[in-house]
Structure 1
Amino acid sequence: MSMGGVYRAPSMGSVPALRLSRIAAIPFAPVLLVQGKRLRRETPKLPDAALPWSGSEAGPSALRLLVLGDSTAAGVGAATQDEALPGNLARELSARWSRGVEWTALGENGATARDLVERFLPVALEETYDFVFLSIGANDALDLRSRSAFGRDIRTLLTALRSRNPDAQLMMSSLPAFFRFVLLPNPLRWNLYLHSQNLETEARRIVAQFPGVIMSPAPPPYTDGFFATDLFHPSASGYKDWARFAIDDAFEKGQLA
């Protein structure tokens, strides 16, 4: 909304409209700038999850899991990585496949897809994995990165990860449902959501071109307690919900067997 006015959410039904998401933000630029600065100044800065960033779930024939990405790979919002995305994904996979899981997290708070390509992909390629979960895109949306630049980075990541792990299952998470982030004021909230959908549409187009690579659907409404104290990152409970939703959905659709 403008100051004192009513802001109407942009339509998500048109792909051409999504492609113009950065242009759509221009009329709101002065307000977005003020709101963005205030958000960064007033939002609590939560730490990464404590070390170690690796662990295991007991069981036979342990599969190797890599969680690669931004603050959600870094476990921001949870005390430990076991309580964050890696540990919860490991428990879901272990329960589904009756196997052990050895998991590793790699990433950084604030990372974009370009950061992963330049700084974290070489490390990710040093080892091989059976399952790779890629959580990236939120900061690309926040930075209003272009659809084409984001798409190039996603393609680079998936090409390299598939080449290094030819038999692995690769899963990319959907981008956050920013329109449900009560922390974000409008018009920042809806412009951010519009642009995130632009980026996600491109990511889905690219993911569909890679055999054995899947992407989670948009998340259901966030539950009470999903968010950490900063109202932006998941809490330990939120990471548990996220991991269960992502793995359950993939199994129900027959994407994982």
Structure 2
Amino acid sequence: MNVWIERTLLIMLAPLLAIQGVYTRRVTPKLPEPPGPREGRAGQGSVLKLLIVGDSAAAGVGVEHQHNALAGQLVAALAPHFELHWKVIAQTGYTTRDVLRRLEHEPGQAFDLVVLSLGVNDVTSAVRTGKWLAQQRDLLALLQQRFLAQHVIVNAVPPMERFTALAQPLRAILGARAHRFNASLASVVDQWPGCELVRPTLPSGREALADDGFHPGRSAYREWARHLAERIAAWERGRRVTDL
């Protein structure tokens, strides 16, 4: 959707979209962040220090325990190949600005690799694309300077037009906005060393979503973790070749 068309629709449909937004927040179940460890060690092999940062998806909302969330499933996929030292810093509702503020107060610690899951709350909070991209650049710089991240995997904003909790036309407009964010984000990541953008192919249909129609379900977390594990393994192979 062209940005000017999107802005015109936003102006024309503003009263309806406001009503739909209020209604969605009122009727959508508020799922909790699942219990379970948010840091630990697992596996054996070469040491890999992993940090997962982000919003409610990174925190695992949508499943009943961290074992079935992104962190738990990613740790399970990587543990046969690495001695994994891992940590999650994530919270429901976090925008990119919120993560920046949180990490500025975290003690400095070295991580080989960082996985970022952000963007949905930036889309719904109507932050402008340019401002969001500036915050993304600040975040990448912070991760590489304060946390010594050798590689950062940035997850694209998910296809919000598939979020069944959202009514139309709100769903279509937020979906178009998410796609526009991703197109702009790709240009930033392509020019940023030590960074890559991934767009996991997630299961389709209602079973891929949690009961709230907004967050990933168990199968989506599993496929997401599998995709990330493949990218991490490929990066690690490249790092070993470079070190030879």
Which bin holds the TM-score, normalised by the shorter protein? 0.7 to 0.9
* Counterpart in the other structure of 1:126: 108
Larger fraction in helix: 2
> Which letter maps to 2:167?
P
CA contact (8 A) 1:75 1:81 kept: yes
CA distance in 2, matches of 1:42, 1:137: 22
Partner AA of 1:52 in structure 2: P
**Counterparts in 2 of 1:38 and 1:171: CA distance versus 1, 3 Å:** same
Q: Mean Cα displacement is larger for which, 152-161 or 125-134?
A: 125-134
For the Cα contact (< 8 Å) 2:156–2:197, is it kept in 1? yes
CA root-mean-square deviation = 2.2
Contact preservation (8 Å) 1:181, 1:231 = yes
Q: Hey, what does 2:89 align to over in structure 1?
A: 106
SS of equivalent to 2:207: coil
| Per-residue deviation, 1:60 | 2.5
TM-score (norm 2): 0.88
Q: Percent identity?
A: 32
Deviation at 1:75, TM superposition (A): 1.4
Query: Residue 39 of structure 1: which of 4, 10, 24 is its match?
Result: 24
Find the counterpart in structure 2 of residue 169 from structure 1.
151
Q: Of 203, 208, 223, which aligns to 2:185?
A: 203
- Partner residue of 1:192? 174
Distance 1:80 1:51 in 2: 6
Does structure 2 conserve the Cα–Cα contact (< 8 Å) formed by 1:55 and 1:82? no
Structure 1: any 5+ residue segments left out of the alignment?
1-10, 12-16
Per-residue CA shift, 1:128-177, capped at 9, x if unaligned? 11110000000000111100110011000001111234462210111111
Give the direction of change, closer, same or farther, for the CA distance of 1:30–1:103 in structure 2 (3 Å limit): same
Please report the TM-score for the alignment, with normalisation by the length of structure 1: 0.83
Matched residue SS, 2:66 = coil
Aligned counterpart for 1:149 among listed residues 123, 126, 131: 131
Match in the other structure for 1:81: 66
Task: Specify the code of the residue in structure 1 equivalent to 2:196.
Answer: I
Write out aligned runs for 1:42-81 (5 A).
42-81=27-66
Q: 1:20 and 1:106, CA in 2 relative to 1: closer, same or farther beyond 3 A?
A: farther
Structure 2 CA distance for aligned equivalents of residues 58 and 251 of structure 1: 15
